[in-house]
Structure 1
Amino acid sequence: MELRDIEIFLALAEELHFGRTAERLHITQARVSQAIAKQERRIGAALFERTSRRVALTPLGARLRDDLSAGYERIRDGVESAMETARGVRGSLRLGIFGPNAHDLAPVTRVFRQRYPSCGLSFHEVGFSDPFGLLRAGEVDLQTCWLPVQEPDLAVGPVVMEGPLSLMLSDAHPLAGRGRVRLEDLGDCVLPAIPEPAPRYWVGALEPFHTPSGRPIPRGPVVTTFQEVEGFVLHEGLAAVVHADGPRYYQRPGIVYLPIEDAPPGRWALIWRAAAETELVRAYVRAAEDVLDELPREAPHPAGGAHPAGDPHPAGGAHGRAGANPRASSAVTRVVSS
């Protein structure tokens, strides 16, 4: 069986529609039908049940799909690795991360290492008080960052994590007994002050400066690390809007996370210097694109109460996709159209 025929069979087994399969593989529907008929003649039995309304795998077709899938992925990865070696993918990639992002990016890193075993990969923590400093100084090649990123010298790649925002409070805070809050309630809180060079628009996307009605939201002490935020929340009555990784990774006694029911989801993307894009950067971005469905895409907050320490944050749900800014590379633009 030729590799292209295997690809057509596996695509049809997933799509269960001849037209969509042809469109996905950029071939004619007749080519799909011919390839399947050829395989069925060779095997001597039907692989698909076809009616005017539906296409379904036969038991034999389902078994063949399972047997072929793993081998096909290994062949494709091997071809991709050889192509990248020929293109000059070599050296070491320096990846900047915020906090526990390395855990969430584990599926991407695993695929990257499988494809480019001779390439090095190192991790470097990025601080939210200077989110672009390491990148612009050339100390990292690629990094994660929450959106929006509106920097003309930086390219924005695929959204790799997405999830609901929460309000982190001490369990002694006046709002802590409520099951959930709205953005307007932030006017009754004191949020942390994040200093420059963090851009005001970027800080405000997470820690807003005004409520939806226009009330100013007070600012408290200047903080530069998540651990400082935790200390002020626990002992000084500070509140902080946090991404989904807060309740996922930072469960602490005395701290609760209240769902912010009308907040837009927090989104994280890969970013890099547009003028310093390399084959290694493009290789990691392509790995991210290929495993997007395995990356954290948490459902909106369900009805119910806060997430106290020890109560895991709910997860699951839709796999959102988002695209790049106009300076992003062609490797990223495939996410926009998916």
Structure 2
Amino acid sequence: MAMRDDLYRIKQELADRLKTANDLPGWEALEAEYFSRTAGKFTNLIKKLKQLPEEERKIMGRLGNEVKDEMLSALSARRSFLEGARFARLAETEAIDVTAPFLPPLPMGHLHPTTHVQSDLEDLFTSMGFTILDGPELESEYYNFESVNIPADHPARDMQDTFYIKGHPHWVMRTHTSPVQVRALERYGVPIRAIVPGRCFRNEATDPRHEHTLYQLEGLVVDRQITFSHLKGILETVARYLYGEATQVRLRPKFYPFVEPGVNGEVTCFLCAGAGCRVCKETGWLEIFGAGMVHPNVLTAGGVDPREYQGFAFGLGLSRLVMLKYKIEDVRHLQTGDLRFLSQF
């Protein structure tokens, strides 16, 4: 039979040509020449089966499968041989000299100073049973202002202090992390003990002490019979964790719309120990947080009955804490991405 002869001939032809295929590109060219779906020699030969009588087609079909398996096996064996030879050459030409001097480790990146301080505080608060929450940076005017008891005529709602979204008059870039207080109360209910680290945005001119993008850490505790003494205890714990056991905390009355009463939290200057220096402006005290008892209107906005539950909230300026801890004189350095600055930490 002519097809039988053709099958044996093409198998022997491939075997002879494989002996001269000395590299992988040559092997790939042979594989395509014989087994390409459109123009392969073996492929075209098998297509002729449909021209044969039925009985002969069955016989030649079985023979064709046997020949195909033998040809593919020969191709595979040759490829394995060529790959082995290639690796053998690489072993000879690219061998590692174990007697060479030790190479120093490549320089690697590291965490931003703000991330360091945030992680330290997260470890502290989680050890006290706090949950870490997050909230949207693109916030609604309701959650950013109204839900936390900031009225429509409050100066913070002016265009010069807040980034409003063009085409969306009721969307803002959040100016503080306080909106998460109401979101958390709505979602998780009470009792709750949580912190909210995050990025905030203020529409203001930048200078060494102010930046349009800043980081805060919000704290919220709501439960039955929560008192101001609980708040003071938490703040003293945070201050001493940050600046040492000898640190003193001073709370002075201050108005914040979302707390009542509200306080301004200061700690003894970690540089001069309260004696007065340039960093604390000769006062001996550094302002690091604002705090107070959660306003009943905020509890109500979160779906909590203020006659049954009480709570306190506090806000730490992470960017300011970073400046104090690492003695950074200009807050704008934190946003530059300058490796000369970041590599110091």
- TM-score category, normalised to shorter length: under 0.3
Structure whose alpha-carbon radius of gyration is higher? 2
TM-score normalised by L of structure 2: 0.19
Q: Which has the higher contact order (CA 8 A, sep 6+)?
A: 1
